[in-house]
Amino acid sequence: MKVLVKKEALCIGCGLCEEICSKAYFKENNVDKSCIQVAKGEANEINVCNQCGACIDICQVVALSRGSNGVVRVNKKECVGCFMCVGFCPTLSMRQHDDYIEPFKCIACGLCAKECPTGAIAVEDIDFETKERL
């Protein structure tokens, strides 16, 4: 399964990943609209979906599902905008912005990883057991 993996020790908190993500999906540079978010400080903490799928089971309208590549996606057509998945995400990586009535999340597209200057993030194709260990 594809997942964006992180090495926080390498992160310098430049914010480039956030810019790339929000521009790619929402056509604006706005950290609040980025699927990956970095709490910048002495230790930069990268928050991004690890594709665990806990959200899939709590969605009443089955708008969340795992695709063939293992990535969890939001089906906006089915989503009724309750944001339960936002409150119930174990890593608080499901995003919500008041401009939209559906949540959004990292789909491990890798656009941000490609540009990361330090290699702190990368898309990897890993099996479930490896993921469990991570």
Partner 1 sequence: MDIKALKEAHSLLAEYSYEPAKLDKGYTDKTLYINIGENKISTKTVTPEIKEKFIGGKGIGLKYLWDATKPSTKWNDPENEIIIAGGPLCGITQYPGAGKSLVVTISPMTDIPIDSNVGGYFGPYLKFSGWDALEVQGKAEKDVIIFIDGNKGIVKIEEAPLEAVDGHVVSEQLTEMYAESEEDKKNISVISAGTAANHVNIGLLNFSFYDIRRQVTRLKQAGRGGIGKVFRDKKIKAIVIRFKGTKGDLNKPADQSLINKAGITLHKQIHDLDDVQCRMRQIGTANIIEVMDKYDLLPVHNYQYGKHSDTFKIASDVFIEKFITQGMPDGCWFGCSLSCAKAADKFELLTGPYKGDLVTVDGPEYENAAGLGSNCGVFDPQMVLEANFYCDTYGVDTISFGTACAFAMECYERGIINKDITGGLELNFGNGIAQLELLHQMSRGEGFGVLVGQGVKVMKEVFVKEYGADADFLRDIGMEQKGLEVSEYLPKESLAQQGGYGLTNKGPQHDEAWLIFMDMVNNQIPTFEDKAEALHYFPMFRTWFGLMGLCKLPWNDTMPADNHLTDEPAKIPQHVQHYVSLYNGVTGMNIDKHELIRQSERVYNFQRVFNIRRGKGLRLHDAMPYRAMGPVTIEEYESRQDRYDQQLRELLDYNPEGKTTEEKIKVMRDYRYDQYEKLTDAVYKRRGWNTNGVPTIEHLKEIGIDLPEVVEVVKQHL
Return the residues of window 99-118 that contact partner 1 according to CB under 8 A: 101-102
DSSP-based three-state secondary structure for 64: strand
Regarding 119 and contact with partner 1 (CB under 8 A), the answer is no
Size of the site for partner 1 (CB under 8 A): 19
Regarding 10 and contact with partner 1 (CB under 8 A), the answer is no
Return the residues of window 32-51 that contact partner 1 according to CB under 8 A: none
10-18, 24-32, 33-41, 98-106 -> range binding partner 1 (CB under 8 A): 98-106
Residue 59 to residue 36: CA distance in whole angstroms: 22
Regarding 26 and contact with partner 1 (CB under 8 A), the answer is no
Regarding 96 and contact with partner 1 (CB under 8 A), the answer is yes
Q: Which of 46, 59, 74, 121 binds partner 1 (CB under 8 A)?
A: 59
Which phi and psi angles does 130 have, rounded to 5°? -60, -40
Cβ distance to partner 1 smaller for residue 24 or 58: 58
Beta bridge partners of 50: none
Residue 22: other Cβ atoms inside 10 A:
22
Regarding 24 and contact with partner 1 (CB under 8 A), the answer is no
Regarding 88 and contact with partner 1 (CB under 8 A), the answer is yes
Helices in 9-134 by DSSP H: which ranges? 16-26, 54-58, 84-88, 111-115, 128-133
Residue 63 to residue 55: CA distance in whole angstroms: 10
113 residue type, one letter? A
CA 19 from chain center: how many Å?
Answer: 14
Q: Which residues bind partner 1 (CB under 8 A)?
A: 57-62, 79-84, 86-88, 96, 98, 101-102
